[in-house]
Amino acid sequence: MLSDGVGLSARADSAPVSLRHIPSLDGIRALSVLLVFFAHAGLDRVVPGGLGVTIFFFLSGYLITTLLRVEYQKNLRISVRHFWLRRVLRIMPPFYAVLCATVVATSMFSPGTLKSIPVLAQFLIFTNYWAIWYGSTGQPAGTGIFWSLAVEEHFYLVFPWLYIGMRKLDVAPFRQALLLWGICAVILIWRCILVIHFHSPVDRTYLATDTRVDSILFGCALAVWRNPVVDRLTLNPRMWKIAILPSACLLLIFCLIYRLDAFRETFRYTLQGIALNFMFIAAIQFKDWKVFRFLNTRAMAFLGVLSYSLYLVHFPILNVTKVTFSDYPIAGAALALAASVGVAWLMYMVIEKPCARLRRRLID
């Protein structure tokens, strides 16, 4: 629980806010995708790519719920149809463009490796459970990362109804957060049962929606209570600098260095969610601190804007450069990064921006 005793308090009223630009968040997006990229480039022993995905999940939950909260405060209602339409136009066009491109490329250069049912599972956003049950054989090379999109899409189908229910029942913000944390606790217990009692494999807990959606819900909880963007918070900078932020960082580091498998597939995600809660507050509220300044540079902001398309395309491109530059892995990774950024920028201009304009015309 956050309170004055740990350096944070909030007034009951909410501040008017523009969500067009939230400090540090583009930089956090960029940092997340770079963690994933360098882990996939061969540095997975020293670069925590899985943490990058967890940060993406937390960020998605935080932003989506903040938008829902602002919409309800403005209109006293939430249009689920508009919510899903925004998500479809934001996520699906780049996703299907990359998936179709990788299917065509694999058919041309590695004929016979594709199978219809595994590819259909990807098109139907069911690839995470398909991979758990049957593996990734038969899918286009470099599309294994699409499991995380499936987790998010499953979340988007359910969460608006939960949030609307809480608002219709006039549940207080702190109780909303308690409910979301309670669901996170239930998911932690479910992971423990799967790992300790059923001895489930790593893929079962790492890829499945029912075992990973709590990483999104931790972000949702931050959005509904003590939201650093919507609520007027009174923070004690000294307390945050000398105690709260260092403690959150140490907790996150502990989650990375403690390698016991049973811990990593159970408590790791929960503790990371707790740590990210405090780190997000600090990064947004204290964006001018030296430790956060790099998140607000033009380069990080640029990569943050491209982060979704960059996430989609980087692994297929890395697969090509790893083969082509097998004797020069550093050069291959550098070329893959440059090519991924270039392709992501092209997708942003040709696909993402037109879809954003269409969203505004249809909804706003």
Residue 244 pLDDT grade (very low, low, confident, very high; cuts 50, 70, 90): very high
Average pLDDT, whole number, for the chain? 93
- Rounded Cα gap, residues 78 and 69, in angstroms: 9
Residue 126 vs residue 326, higher pLDDT: 126
Neighbours of 182 (CB within 10 A): 12
- Rounded Cα gap, residues 335 and 321, in angstroms: 7
Answer for the pair 91, 153: CB distance below 8 angstroms, yes or no: yes
Residue 187 pLDDT grade (very low, low, confident, very high; cuts 50, 70, 90): very high
**CA angle (163, 124, 40) in 5-degree steps:** 90
pLDDT of residue 327: 86
pLDDT of residue 2: 37
Residue 9 pLDDT grade (very low, low, confident, very high; cuts 50, 70, 90): very low
Whether the predicted pLDDT of 3 surpasses 70: no
pLDDT of residue 218: 98
- Lowest-pLDDT choice from 62-71, 248-257, 355-364: 355-364
Question: pLDDT tens, 34-51?
Answer: 999 999 999 999 999 999
97-102 mean pLDDT: 97
Which amino acid does the sequence have at 85?
L
Three state DSSP letters for the chain: CCCHHHCEEEEEEECCCCCCCCCCHHHHHHHHHHHHHHHHHHHCCCCCHHHHHHHHHHHHHHHHHHHHHHHHHHHCCCCHHHHHHHHHHHHHHHHHHHHHHHHHHHHHHCCCCCCHHHHHHHHCCCHHHHHHHHCCCCCCCCCHHHHHHHHHHHHHHHHHHHHHHHHHCCCCHHHHHHHHHHHHHHHHHHHHHHHHHCCCCHHHHHHCHHHHCHHHHHHHHHHHCCCCCCEEEEECHHHHHHHHHHHHHHHHHHHHHCCCHHHHCCHHHHHHHHHHHHHHHHHHHCCCCHHHHHHHCHHHHHHHHCHHHHHHHHHHHHHHHHHHCCCCHHHHHHHHHHHHHHHHHHHHHHHHHHHHHHHHHHHC
- Rounded Cα gap, residues 161 and 184, in angstroms: 17
Range of the domain at 42: 4-10+18-363
User: Six-digit token pair at 155?
Assistant: 């979340």
Residue 43 vs residue 363, higher pLDDT: 43
pLDDT of residue 5: 37
Positive or negative CA dihedral for 291, 292, 296, 301? positive
324-329 own/partner pairs: CB under 8 Å, 24+ apart: 329/41, 329/42
Question: pLDDT tens, 73-90?
Answer: 999 999 999 999 999 999
Answer for the pair 362, 85: CB distance below 8 angstroms, yes or no: yes
pLDDT of residue 1: 37
Answer for the pair 56, 68: CB distance below 8 angstroms, yes or no: no
Residue 13 φ/ψ, nearest 5 degrees: -80, 160
279-291 mean pLDDT: 96
Whether the predicted pLDDT of 4 surpasses 60: no
pLDDT of residue 19: 61
119-128 mean pLDDT: 97
244-269 mean pLDDT: 97
pLDDT of residue 7: 40
User: What pairs with residue 233 in β-bridges?
Assistant: 10
pLDDT of residue 12: 32
Q: What is the pTM of this model?
A: 0.94
Whether the predicted pLDDT of 6 surpasses 50: no
Q: What is the CA radius of gyration of the chain?
A: 20
User: Six-digit token pair at 304?
Assistant: 């943050």
315-331 mean pLDDT: 92
pLDDT of residue 20: 62
Residue 101 pLDDT grade (very low, low, confident, very high; cuts 50, 70, 90): very high
pLDDT of residue 15: 40
Whether the predicted pLDDT of 157 surpasses 90: yes
Which whole-number Å values give the CA distances from 188 to 123, 215, 270, 280, 348, in the listed order? Answer: 29, 11, 7, 22, 37
Q: What total of structural domains would you count in the chain?
A: 1
21: left (phi over 0), alpha (psi -120 to 50) or beta: beta
Residue 363 pLDDT grade (very low, low, confident, very high; cuts 50, 70, 90): confident
Whether the predicted pLDDT of 284 surpasses 50: yes
Q: Look-up: residue for tokens 């959005």?
A: 223
Q: Look-up: residue for tokens 């689920």?
A: 80
